[in-house]
Structure 1
């Protein structure tokens, strides 16, 4: 196994949590983040992990991009999807010739990473634990969740086995897979729904439990399922969430039951709202809407699958970002009406 530090590019909710756990376990880690105050807190007083899972503070070596020197054989990319290309341009000079970039992000960022550094230097990762960056040196670890790693070409390599062992230090139930795309597409169905819940200030659980909003979750799940099927992907789930219930032609009853499971699942975490909601309501910044959800529509067009609900959702998120619509039920109602009109004409 490599002896150089694991370079974590992006020390927010995902990267910071991984970094704190690895550093506590004695794994050499170096985190890179663009927020100087966060970097300083992590390397001096330490990064505080809080929440119901575990609470501890861990000093983690950290630098800003301008302070970074050297090359690294393992780079964990953990920035927001929209920052992927800029981060890749900055980290590429620091990637060792025989190294790889692992995407610990939401969405299909492996596509962009492979384009930038090559498919052989790209590793896929699916993360579904709940965490939020609350400020310099502070992360809420709201709930454990699935962690899966695998090569994007479906092979099982020694480097993937090594990363699986490292990820198991954080999540003992971490999985090594030969179908990482299946997990990534499976989460996209759930991820699209989380974007929908961010259109209002209601909790994730309240959104999933409301019968009036059910047409939205069904439409989003079905559109992601249709694009995945057309691309030949066998989507894989987590917990009680099976994305294959949304496959083309699948019956509605299991789909409704899956949404009911999501209402229950999201009611049991300290992270009551999605990171998307936090971006909009608290941090007042752009979300990952276009790079994470918009890409599904782009890929859908390539295989002849229409995605009207997803396109409407991305447009509504953009309206909120730019101040044209409020975070309120009236905004979600636009999507509800769109999904109902699609279902009646389908």
Structure 2
């Protein structure tokens, strides 16, 4: 029997999931608080651009305020909002989850730590995203990552490979290449290493990940941000997966190789692809820096690992959010100088 699926939060990631699952024949309801985006999808469908391919998918989209009118329960609910909206949106949508249904955190950071206590640890499945996508105009999605590259990696919080996990893999395959992991938490921290290394530098400079190696100060700042995140992960006891082809030990020993590999992988998305912090700044909304670099800092305090570079990155990105700084490569020079004080 087909599953009833909801996607709450239909920005870039949520639109990829909701739009492509709908195109694959699945029963999907897309829910968002961006009125113009929902209206555009209701009227004209979701226009999707993937590399050289463009098409439009008629979708079932509803406004957040219309959730109270839902008269059915969902088997699967994808949470694809920003991390700072996770807790209240989880509480909002949880009553619409089937008793044997589950939620999937299709987000950056460690949102399962906040979702699972609300819905129950057996009703939450984690997902690690390795995809670049953008929604800057209502009803228009641009996916930068080719469909043949791994997009989602799913894992049970327990680390087991279960029948429902395998079924979800088959379903999500319509939206991108999907793999399974028995090491969800380690893989999530490995992705956090990438995000904490790349996102602040991209937002502050106004440049995409493929441009990180174009200036030595960008490389040096990335090296220090990544080194701290790796050390915190090690102190926290995460069994981290290889980070862009390097084991945790290799990445700590040679952060230069880590940054080199990050840039190499980023170029598959195209030199015009923009990091998610940078996209948020361009849209005039808060970034997730508190849940990426800020999380590295908080876990560092728990573990007794100093994180001065990530502390400085949080401070500078906050200044960017407030309009005290504008995206400019010189901000990375200023950040590096601040880190040295």
TM-score (norm: length of structure 1): 0.90
CA distance in 2, matches of 1:246, 1:306: 21
**CA offset at residue 12 of structure 1?**
1.2
Change (3 A) 1:53 1:222: farther
Aligned residues: CA RMSD: 1.9
Report Cα offsets for 1:146-179 as digits up to 9, x if no partner: 310010111111111111111222223x111111
Change (3 A) 1:338 1:244: farther
CA distance in 2, matches of 1:128, 1:108: 15
Matched, 1:220 2:204: no
Change (3 A) 1:53 1:257: farther
Aligned twin of 2:116 = 114
Give the unaligned 5+ runs of structure 1. Answer: 342-346
TM-score (norm: length of structure 2): 0.91
CA distance in 1, matches of 2:13, 2:174: 15
- Structure 1 stretches of 4+ with a deviation exceeding 4 A read 338-341
Aligned twin of 1:81 = 83
The number of equivalent residue pairs is 333
Q: Tell me, yes or no, if the aligned pair for 1:107 and 1:293 is still in contact at 8 Å.
A: no
Report Cα offsets for 1:317-346 as digits up to 9, x if no partner: 0011112223223322232234556xxxxx
Matched, 1:257 2:261: no
Change (3 A) 1:50 1:138: same
Report Cα offsets for 1:119-154 as digits up to 9, x if no partner: 111110011111001221101111134310010111
CA distance in 2, matches of 1:87, 1:212: 39
**CA offset at residue 314 of structure 1?**
0.8
Matched, 1:235 2:240: yes
Aligned twin of 1:277 = 278
Matched, 1:32 2:31: yes
Aligned twin of 1:266 = 266
CA distance in 2, matches of 1:36, 1:11: 11
Q: Tell me, yes or no, if the aligned pair for 1:10 and 1:31 is still in contact at 8 Å.
A: yes
Spell out the pairing of 1:289-328 with structure 2 (5 A cutoff).
Answer: 289-328=289-328
Q: Tell me, yes or no, if the aligned pair for 2:7 and 2:30 is still in contact at 8 Å.
A: yes
Q: Tell me, yes or no, if the aligned pair for 1:73 and 1:98 is still in contact at 8 Å.
A: yes
Aligned twin of 2:106 = 104
Aligned twin of 1:59 = 58
Q: Tell me, yes or no, if the aligned pair for 2:132 and 2:273 is still in contact at 8 Å.
A: no
